[in-house]
Amino acid sequence: METAANAVEGGFDDAVLAGQAAFRAQMDAMARPGTVQPVAPLTAPPGLLSAVAGSVALTLCDQDTPLWLDPRMQADGDVKAWLAFHCGAPLAHTPADAHFALVSSPGELIALENFAQGSQDYPDRSTTLILQVESLTGGEELALEGPGIKDRHTIAPKPMPRHFLAQWTQNNARFPRGVDLVLAGDDAVVCLPRTTRISRLES
Amino acid sequence: MYVAVKGGETAIKNAHRLLADRRRGNRSVPALGLEQIVEQLGLAVDRVMAEGSLYDRELAALAIRQARGDMIEAIFLVRAYRTTMPRFGYSRPVDTGAMLVERRVSATYKDLPGGQVLGPTFDYTHRLLDPALAGDVSVEEPALREEEKQAMPRVSSILAQEGLIEDDGTMPPGHEPGDITRTPNEHPMERDQRLQALSRGDEGFLLALAYSTQRGYARSHPFVGEIRIGEVEVELDVAELPFPVTLGRVRLTECQMVNQFKGSLKAPPQFTRGYGLVFGQSERKAMAMSLVDRALRASELGEDVVAPAQDEEFVIAHSDNVQATGFVEHLKLPHYVDFQAELDLVRRMRCEYDEREQGQDTTEESREAAE
Amino acid sequence: MKSERAREMELHARRKQAMAVLARAPAEHVHRLWSEAGFEVEARPLRGPETGLVTLRGRMGGGGAAFNVGEATVTRASVRLESGEIGHAYALGRDAEKVHIAAIVDALWQCTERRDAVEARIVAPLAAALDEADAKHEAETAATRVDFFTMVRGED
């Protein structure tokens, strides 16, 4: 396979500075669950992959982190070639082998329990899912509580995985095991670590 | 227990300044260049590359200079540098059979295809110090012998024809080689992980263990099937190219140790094998590695584990000199509070001991008095 | 007549060979030939030059299952010419400038009309120098080969 031009274009211009800026945003987003942390569009990936999700992937994924792609992303040869060139991350054979997952259609995502949950001894060996959402607002209102959140925080991203609240309650119950979520919007990220408790906002 | 203690900053700063001064030494003596270290202390560079587990001659030379020739410190520096680098991938396995050989000897077969090639060896030197080398003596150009290039198949493939020697060593199909730099060690280990650990293991430690197997602790009747030193090509599969890309050549030392084996419940009498593969020119290390590799295969071959060299956890957990030096040398760091606590404990125990002793004396006295 | 596929394979093999020569060649020789060759070219970096590690693998017993021996420093670069060709280069070591040039050379090599010039001015002289060094090395090594001769003892 000869590399297509759109597989090699659109990476970080300055890998160090761009990677640090994007990392800072994700770190803050993980530390303060639910806050919207702006991420500049530092990448220009092809196909289905968004600029923000692309930046997150280039920041977090490398040779040592098997990556799982949802079926639509999996069918996009340009995205796969771009990720292979810029991250070098191998594709995970199964969701349970994945360190990271890139999800282009969160509404059609398989159940969270299919992904690596980590072990009691090594809870860090779980999958971090990067969900490419259409918008960080306008969805069902969710109330967040837990470490890193003063009192309570509200978000309304869309779309979210099916039966999300029920799945998330199960995810909480597996603690210290469990997956973490990165929601990649148009120009920002919001993170939902496994420590965050989520409920439907009572009006 | 460690306690943050303030103070000492000036002392530390000045100590490092003094270190820099002592490292440079007498300023009227020309400073040592990295090229000089690479060219003229090549085997020191090789050792730092092998045990630092990083193939880069200039960096190893820099580490040797920075460490003032302290090899373990230099290895430590190289290991620290490694951890700061991104990783591009795993190479294709190198083909030592296609090595551009600079030395190749066998102690088992006199006449073998490609012959016995001595290369730049210390063997057969008289080990007499040469006063001429104290100065800058002119050195002869090497002798040349123009001839047709001869293929040099590995000795193991020659022995294999009779079926009396075990094969190269396999893992189950689909097995992904383990990587001790990525996953914490768990015992028992697979042979691939052991070989990775041994390849970067301390030469002195492995040499002593190898020697112990020869002296009767896990006797394994070894012969050097073959040692070869030379350059092999390295190739890497990359996403953007339709073929594996050639990265260049590295120099390696390979040792095939062949061991007479009387058979066990698990395996028939045959020759078994130990394997050594080390960065650079490092024959002693490759030989020691192959002896220890063989000794560590005891359980696999149904032998009793009776000697230190056969004890995987003992060998692998203590073969890394950076880990070892870290733990041993940390003892010199302040343990003031730790020691105070121990001091209190020992005082209390001593008190109790003295009281007991006194108590006993009084009982004995009273018994004597009663008699 | 060769099939399309066979021609493509042959081209890949030649490009791989040219890249291998550039990877192995000493930096100063690459620099010198590159400036002497005088190619007028604008190349935009796509990735790197950047230095990282590649874990080298060997095989147990020489031909058995793979295992990791240790890392090596490797520098890589990818560039794109104004005319659209994308060139890549990888080499052991940390010489960013050499690898950058090698990536441009690889891109130029892919322009059909410039390939012969690239081969003649850069790849061929580098390859010749490397071959010469190898031949000298082999002759030096061969001079240390032991020629056994048998001492005849007793009768018959």
User: Does the pLDDT value for residue A189 go beyond 80?
Assistant: yes
pLDDT, average across residues C11-21:
97
pLDDT bin (cut points 50, 70, 90) of residue C86 is very high
Domain assignment of residue C98, yes or no: yes
The minimum CA-CA distance between B83 and chain C, rounded to whole Å, is 10
Residue B270: its pLDDT value, please? 86
Domain assignment of residue C144, yes or no: no
CB contact under 8 A, A81 and B239: yes
Interface test with A, best of B240, B241, B245 (most A CBs within 10 A): B240
Q: C116 is in which domain, residue-wise?
A: 8-129
pLDDT, average across residues A34-58:
93
pTM (2 d.p.): 0.90
pLDDT, average across residues A130-150:
96
Among B119-133, B168-182, C139-153, the range scoring the smallest mean pLDDT is C139-153
Residue among C3, C37, C15, C8 nearest C87 (CA) = C15
Residue A1: its pLDDT value, please? 40
Chain C, window 102-131: residues with a beta carbon less than 8 angstroms from a chain B beta carbon: none
User: Does the pLDDT value for residue A2 go beyond 80?
Assistant: no
Per the structure, how many domains does chain A have? Answer: 1
Chain C residues in contact with B175 by the CB 8 A cut-off are 65
pLDDT, average across residues C137-146:
95
Per the structure, how many domains does chain C have? Answer: 1
Q: What residues have CB less than 8 Å from B52, skipping those under 6 apart?
A: B60, B63, B74, B75, B77, B78, B79, B82, B200
B310 and B295 in contact (C-beta within 8 Å)?
yes
Mean pLDDT of chain B: 92
A62 touches C: beta carbon within 8 Å:
no
Q: A36 is in which domain, residue-wise?
A: 2-200
Residue B264: its pLDDT value, please? 83
Domain assignment of residue C80, yes or no: yes
d(CA B237, CA B247): 10
User: ∠ CA A170-A172-A177 to the nearest 5 degrees?
Assistant: 100
Partner residue facing B250 (CB), from C67, C72, C78: C72
Distances (CA, A) of B87 to A18, C55, C127: 19, 8, 29
User: Does the pLDDT value for residue C31 go beyond 70?
Assistant: yes
User: Does the pLDDT value for residue B370 go beyond 80?
Assistant: no
Chains touching A by CB (3 or more pairs below 8 Å) = B, C
Give me the interface pTM, i.e. the ipTM.
Answer: 0.93
Chain C, window 49-68: residues with a beta carbon less than 8 angstroms from a chain A beta carbon: 50
**C-beta atoms surrounding A168 within 10 Å:** 23
- Where residue A53 sits, what CATH number does that domain have? 3.40.50.11310
Domain assignment of residue C148, yes or no: no
Residue among C114, C111, C121, C113 nearest C22 (CA) = C121
pLDDT bin (cut points 50, 70, 90) of residue B360 is confident
pLDDT, average across residues C37-41:
91
Pairing of strands C43-59, B87-93: parallel
Residue among B370, B319, B93 nearest B210 (CA) = B319
